[in-house]
Amino acid sequence: MRKLASFYLLIIIIFMSIVYQPVYAQTIKTEIINGYEFMVKDLTKYKDVNFISTQYNGYPLLKVQGYKDKWGITDINGNVLIPVKYDSIMDIQAGNVKVTSNGLSAVLNYKTGEIVIDFGQYNHIGLYDNVIMVVENDNYHYYSSNGDKLSFNTNIDFVRFVHSKYYIGRLNNKWGLFNLDLKEIIPFEYDTITDYRVTLDGANKYYFVVEKDGEFELIDENGNELLESDYRYFNINPDSEYIDITSTNGFPYRYNLKTFTTSNRHQIDYNEYDTFQQYDEKSYFFIKNNEAGLMDLNYNKIESVSVNNGRIKKRHKNGLYEVHYDSISQYLAKRKYLNSNGKTLASDYGFSLDSLYNNSDFIIVNRFKKKPTKHYTTFYPYTGVHHFFYAGDERLDFNLGVINSVGEEIIPCKYDRILNFGYTLKGHFLVEDNDKYGFINAKGEIVVPVEYDSINLVPLSYDDKTYAVLKKNDKWSIVNEQGEIIYPFELDEKNMTISDGLIINSVNGKWEAIDLSGNIVVPFIHDTKVSSKFVNGFAVFGKGMNRMYYDSNWNFVVEKAQLGLVSSNGDTVIPFGDYYSSALTDNYSLVLTKTDNGIKLYELIK
C-alpha cells in the first residue's frame, strides 16, 4: 500500500511539474554589488531573453526563447503568459500579441494566452489600438481586441480607434468616422480628419476637424457641422470652452463650445484694415492707413500710434512699434522704433532678418555702413533663404546689434549674426563675428569671449539651468550661464545630454562621464557608449568595439564589445562581459546578464 501511495505521489509531482512551468530554475535571492542591493532571478531555463517595452503590472515583459528555439512571454516575476512553443512573437498592441507556428499566424491575448484570432494563412495581420485588421486572400476583415467580428466595409484599408468610442477609417483614400455600433457619423469623403477631446464642466466632449478640397469644418461627435467651411486654422485647447479660429481671409474668431456661438464675428468690418490679427490672448493688433495699435476682444482701442512719415509694420513684444521709411521696399527701407506714445526712440536701422523672428523684450537691429540700393535673395537647400544687399556693385555686410524696450542700443551694431535672447544660454545673446562665437548678456556685457570656432545650437539644460556647447581647436566643451568653462576643450562629441547631473562624452575615443563642475566621475577607459545618458543612476558602457574585419591571414573576425553597467558614482555594478540587456527608467532598473552559467535578471531594490 505504501509503495502504491508513493507511486501515485510521484505521478502527481511529475504532472504538476509539466502543468506548472515556473520561469526560474532556482530560488530568487538578493545580492549586494558595490553597495547596491539587487533581487537576482535565475533564467537558466532559457536560451535567450529580451525585454519587451509593453508594460505589465508596471514592468516590461520578457520575451523568452527555450532551448528548442521556441518563444514565449513571461512577466519579470516568472509567470508564463504565453507558453514557450511559438516560432516567433511579434507586434504587441492593446493587450494582444501576434505569434506564428508552423507557418501559420494567430493573435493571442498576452495576459491570458487565449486565442483571439485563430491560426491561419493570412496575407497580413495588423494590430491597431483596439482594432485588429486581418488580410486574407486580399480581403480586409476587422475584429475588436476581443476577437469579435466587426462588420466594416471590406474596402476600408485602415482603421484607427480613438477615445475608446470611435473609429476613424479610410475608404478609397477618403476618411470618415463611425462609432462602436458601426454607425457612420462622418461620411467617407474628407481628405483628413483630426480628433480632439475637450473637457467641459467635468465631462469629455469630442470634436473633429475635417478637411475637404483645402477647406475645413468643425464637426461634433454626433456629426453636426458646427462651423461653416471657411476656416483654415483651429486651435483647440482641451481645458477651455473656446476654440480659436483663423478664417481663410486671415481674421480671427472665437467659438464658444457651450453656447455654440462665434464671438466678435460681425462687429467690425475687417476689410477696412490693412492688417488685423490676434496679438495675444487678450488683444488684437491692427494697422489702418498711418495708424496702428491694439484692441481688446470687444474691439475697443486700448493703444494707438500714428505717423506722418513712413508705414507702421508691426508691434514688437517689448511694446515698440516698427516703422519703415525712406523706401517703399520693405528690404531697402530704413527702420525706426516708436513707443506707445508715438515718440521715436531709435532710428536709422536697416533690414534685419533676425528681428522678424524676435519674440522677447529686445529687438535685433542692423545698421548698414552705406545706404543699400539693391536687394537679392538666394535659396540654399540646407540653410534656406539668404538675403544680399548692395550699394551699387558693392556688397554690404550686416552689422547687427540689439536695442531694448526704451530704444537703447545695448549691443553695438557690429556683429555678423545674433540669435534671439535666451536661445541656447538663458539670459544671453549668441553672437557671431568673423566666424567666431560668444555670448553677451542683457546689459551688453561680454560673458563668453567671441573667440570660439563653432557652437551646438541644440539647447542643453538641467535643473532649470542652461549650458552651451562650444568648439575650439576641433574639441568641444561646455559653458554655464556665468560664462565659466566647466571642462577643458578636450571632448570629442558636440551632442550630449545631462541626466543625474552627469554628461557622457569621450576624450580621444574613450568614453567617460563628468559632472557639472567638470569632475570626472566615470574615468576615460571605455571604448563603447551604449547609453546616451544616466537613468535612475545607471548607464551602460563597453570595453572593446563591435566590429567585423579580415585579419592578415584573410580570416573573417567578429569582435563584440564587453558591456557593463556603471553607476553614477563611477562603480562598475554589473561586470563587463556579463551585461546582456537592460531596461532603465525612473521607476525601475532591470539588467539581464548572460554568462556560461546562463541568464540572470537583476532588479534593483529601492
Q: What pTM was computed for the model? A: 0.72
Query: Which residues lie closer than 8 Å to 344 by C-beta, 6 or more apart?
Result: 336, 337, 338
% of the chain exceeding 90 in pLDDT: 49
403 falls in which pLDDT band (50, 70, 90)? very high
Residue 4 carries which DSSP code?
Answer: H
Strands, E assignment, 416-537: 417-418, 428-433, 436-441, 446-452, 454-462, 465-472, 475-479, 498-499, 502-507, 510-515, 520-526, 528-529
Q: How far is CA 526 from the centre of its chain?
A: 29
Task: Check whether 19 has a pLDDT greater than 70.
Answer: no
Residue 586 carries which DSSP code?
Answer: S
Q: What pLDDT was estimated at residue 18?
A: 43
Closest-CA residue to 418 (of 409, 427, 428, 408): 428
Task: Say if residues 360 and 317 touch (Cβ distance below 8 Å).
Answer: yes
Q: What pLDDT was estimated at residue 26?
A: 44
Top pLDDT among 272 and 176 is at 176
Ramachandran bin of 257, using left for φ above 0, alpha for ψ from -120 to 50, beta for the remaining angles:
alpha
Give the span between the Cα atoms of 213 and 224, in whole angstroms. Answer: 19
Q: What pLDDT was estimated at residue 150?
A: 81
Task: Check whether 323 has a pLDDT greater than 80.
Answer: yes
232 falls in which pLDDT band (50, 70, 90)? low
Average pLDDT over residues 296-314: 92
Angle at 280 (CA atoms; ends 277, 286), nearest 5 degrees: 30
Give the span between the Cα atoms of 494 and 507, in whole angstroms. Answer: 12
Task: Say if residues 562 and 577 touch (Cβ distance below 8 Å).
Answer: yes
Q: What pLDDT was estimated at residue 51?
A: 93
Q: What pLDDT was estimated at residue 517?
A: 93
Q: What pLDDT was estimated at residue 470?
A: 96
Average pLDDT over residues 280-306: 91
250 falls in which pLDDT band (50, 70, 90)? low
For the range 134-143, what are the long-range contacts, defined as Cβ-Cβ under 8 Å and sequence gap of 24 or more?
A: 143/116, 143/117
Average pLDDT over residues 81-102: 92
> Which residue type is seen at 148?
D
Q: Lowest-confidence range among 301-305, 402-406, 455-459?
A: 455-459
Q: What pLDDT was estimated at residue 17?
A: 46
Top pLDDT among 205 and 24 is at 205
Q: What pLDDT was estimated at residue 455?
A: 94
Q: Lowest-confidence range among 63-72, 126-135, 432-441, 479-488?
A: 126-135
Mean pLDDT across the chain: 85
Q: What pLDDT was estimated at residue 335?
A: 96
Give the span between the Cα atoms of 346 and 408, in whole angstroms. Answer: 7
Give the span between the Cα atoms of 55 and 43, in whole angstroms. Answer: 20
Ramachandran bin of 453, using left for φ above 0, alpha for ψ from -120 to 50, beta for the remaining angles:
alpha
Q: What is the pLDDT of residues 105-142, one digit of tens each?
A: 999 999 999 999 999 999 999 887 778 889 888 788 88
In terms of Cβ atoms closer than 10 Å to its own Cβ (0-12, 13-18, 19+), residue 597 is exposed
Top pLDDT among 422 and 32 is at 32
458 falls in which pLDDT band (50, 70, 90)? confident
Sign of the torsion formed by the C-alpha atoms of 425, 427, 430 and 436: negative
Give the span between the Cα atoms of 41 and 76, in whole angstroms. Answer: 9
Q: What pLDDT was estimated at residue 444?
A: 93
Q: Lowest-confidence range among 179-193, 270-284, 488-502, 592-606?
A: 270-284
Q: What pLDDT was estimated at residue 246?
A: 64
Terminal Cα-to-Cα distance of the chain (whole angstroms): 53
Give the span between the Cα atoms of 63 and 60, in whole angstroms. Answer: 10
Task: Check whether 265 has a pLDDT greater than 50.
Answer: no
Task: Say if residues 576 and 511 touch (Cβ distance below 8 Å).
Answer: no
Q: What is the pLDDT of residues 166-201, one digit of tens each?
A: 889 898 899 999 887 778 899 999 999 988 888 888
Ramachandran bin of 424, using left for φ above 0, alpha for ψ from -120 to 50, beta for the remaining angles:
left
